[in-house]
């Protein structure tokens, strides 16, 4: 049973209730002062409290998907690498599984679209990582067989999993629903977490002597996807969106890679690479690279491009409001910037689910199929 399964949560809840009832029932028998009675009371209280906390933790994790599996929870990445055949046409991307959409008729790709689980091997970064690719229903229609689609790179926060984007934040379902309503065009979504060297948080930085995360996400993935699916290679064909750490990465890529991404959206983003025990030494004393990872510094020193930016915050609940306002004020033409500011909203999935529909419409309006 998986960490996020309903069975695990239900089992923990039932055991917690059973232990609570047992504690109430057995307490009179353990009222003595001898060591056995004391040990029994301590044991019952300890086990009951542990099960209650475990139930609450499982419920919170199921809601926010902080960890996708037991190995992810305990920091044990045991999944073996997947061999990618570089002799094939789609040499840097391998489809390992497919699934339908949770919509009416979603088992048929031409009705609900399709989600493909893939492994992408970075040609330049030498990083390999799993991702999910959402293909809209129109991708499978005969009349669209010769047409390309716009695409968006979608990134989680740290230490989130790619499944967060499917289940918790519902990007494919949102894209499907809004395309059906005509509020956005059909788009391909490439969804993954920016944590390509778990458990280390590399902040989408090319670490000297370490993971070349920025190269993998901003160069290798768009190239591999464009070679494997009907997606163009111009900035107007590609956008990038993310939340928290993924939001920081999205804005960073939009600033530093305007030749790849025409639009970047940061939901609850921060604006400077974190440096803490989870990141380790990202820059090895290189002040130029540290400055480059500071988005405020970059806006002051990088030549403005025609890239569009979207940033989000809330007046109560988010800590990035002041920096978000500062970021908006630093964007210079020909770049354009838009914002979403909620009255209330914390740094959590509930807030991002309120922002994603509008953010996807914004992204769609700034990208083209070809």
- Each domain of the chain, given as residue ranges in start order, spans 6-64, 78-366
Question: 18-23 contacts: CB < 8 A, separation 24 or more?
Answer: 19/44, 19/47, 19/48, 19/51, 20/48, 20/52, 23/48
Spatial distance between the Cα atoms of 238 and 244, rounded to a whole number of angstroms: 20
- Is the Cβ–Cβ distance between 174 and 211 less than 8 Å? no
Mean pLDDT score across all residues of the chain: 89
Please state whether beta strands 114-121 and 128-135 pair in parallel, antiparallel, or not at all (unpaired).
antiparallel
DSSP 13-56: HHHHHHHHHHHHHHGGGG-SSSHHHHHHHHHHHHHHHHHHHHHH
Over 70: is that where the pLDDT of 2 sits? no
Distance between CA 203 and CA 34 in Å, rounded?
Answer: 56
Query: For 183-194, what is each residue's pLDDT tens digit?
Result: 999 999 999 999
Beta carbons of 224 and 137 less than 8 angstroms apart: no
Dihedral of CA atoms 340, 66, 121, 298 in degrees, nearest 10, equals: 40
Distance CA 154, CA 284 (A): 29
pLDDT score for 34 = 82
Higher per-residue confidence, 77 vs 236: 236
Q: For residue 287, is pLDDT > 70?
A: yes
Q: What is the mean pLDDT of residues 143-172?
A: 94
pLDDT for res 40: 80
Please indicate whether residue 115 or residue 63 has the higher confidence score (pLDDT). 115
Tell me what pLDDT residue 13 has.
86
> Tokens 């047992």 — which residue?
22
Averaged pLDDT, 86-108: 79
pLDDT digits (tens, 9 = 90+) for 222-258: 999 999 999 999 999 999 999 999 999 999 999 999 9
pLDDT at position 11, please? Answer: 85
- The answer to whether residue 89 scores a pLDDT higher than 50 is no
For tokens 């639009």, the residue is: 263
Residue 335: partners with Cβ closer than 8 Å, 6 or more residues away:
304, 305, 306, 307, 308, 309
Within 8 A by CB and 6+ apart from 166, the residues are: 115, 132, 172, 191
Note the pLDDT of residue 85: 45
pLDDT confidence of residue 78: 47
- Mean pLDDT of all residues in 296-317: 96
Has residue 276 got a pLDDT over 50?
A: yes
Q: In this predicted structure, what is the pLDDT of residue 87? A: 42
pLDDT band of 61, cuts 50, 70, 90: confident
Correct CATH for 78-366 of 3.10.20.740, 3.40.50.1820, 3.40.1190.20, 2.40.160.40:
3.40.50.1820
pLDDT of residue 134: 98
How many whole angstroms separate alpha carbon 28 and alpha carbon 113? 61
Element (H, E) at 221: helix 221-228
Please report, rounded to a whole number, the percentage of residues in the chain having pLDDT higher than 90. Answer: 70
**What integer is the mean pLDDT of 31-41?**
79
């Amino acid at each position: 049973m998986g960490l996020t399964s309903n069975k695990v949560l239900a089992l923990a809840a039932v055991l917690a209730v059973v232990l609570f009832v047992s504690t109430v029932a057995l307490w009179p028998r353990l009222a003595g002062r001898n060591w056995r009675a004391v040990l029994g009371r301590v044991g019952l209280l300890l086990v009951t409290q542990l099960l209650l906390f475990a139930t609450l933790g499982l419920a919170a994790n199921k809601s926010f998907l902080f960890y996708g599996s037991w190995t992810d929870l305990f920091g044990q990445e045991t999944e073996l690498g997947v061999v990618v055949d570089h002799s094939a046409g789609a040499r840097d991307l391998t489809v390992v599984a497919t699934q339908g959409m949770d919509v009416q008729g979603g088992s048929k790709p031409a009705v609900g679209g399709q989600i493909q689980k893939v492994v992408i091997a970075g040609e330049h970064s030498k990083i390999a990582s799993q991702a999910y690719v959402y293909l809209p229903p129109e991708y499978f229609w005969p009349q669209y067989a010769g047409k390309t689609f716009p695409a968006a790179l979608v990134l989680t926060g740290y230490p989130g999993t790619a499944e967060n984007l499917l289940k918790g934040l519902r990007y494919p379902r949102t894209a499907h629903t809004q395309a059906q309503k005509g509020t956005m065009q059909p788009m391909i979504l490439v969804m993954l977490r920016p944590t390509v060297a778990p458990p280390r948080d590399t902040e989408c930085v090319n670490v000297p002597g370490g993971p070349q995360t920025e190269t993998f996400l901003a160069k290798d993935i768009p190239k591999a996807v464009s070679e494997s699916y009907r997606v163009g290679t111009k900035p107007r064909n590609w956008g990038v969106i993310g939340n928290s750490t993924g939001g920081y990465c999205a804005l960073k890529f939009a600033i530093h890679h305007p030749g790849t991404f025409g639009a970047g959206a940061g939901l609850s983003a921060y604006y400077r690479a974190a440096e803490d025990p989870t990141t380790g030494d990202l820059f090895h004393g290189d002040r130029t690279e540290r400055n480059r990872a500071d988005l405020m510094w970059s806006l002051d020193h990088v030549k403005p491009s025609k890239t569009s930016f979207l940033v989000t915050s809330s007046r109560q609940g988010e800590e990035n409001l002041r920096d978000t306002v500062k970021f908006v004020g630093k964007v210079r033409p020909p770049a354009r910037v838009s914002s979403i500011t909620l009255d209330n909203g914390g740094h959590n999935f509930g807030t991002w689910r309120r922002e994603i529909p509008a953010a996807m419409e914004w992204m769609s309006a700034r990208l083209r199929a070809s």
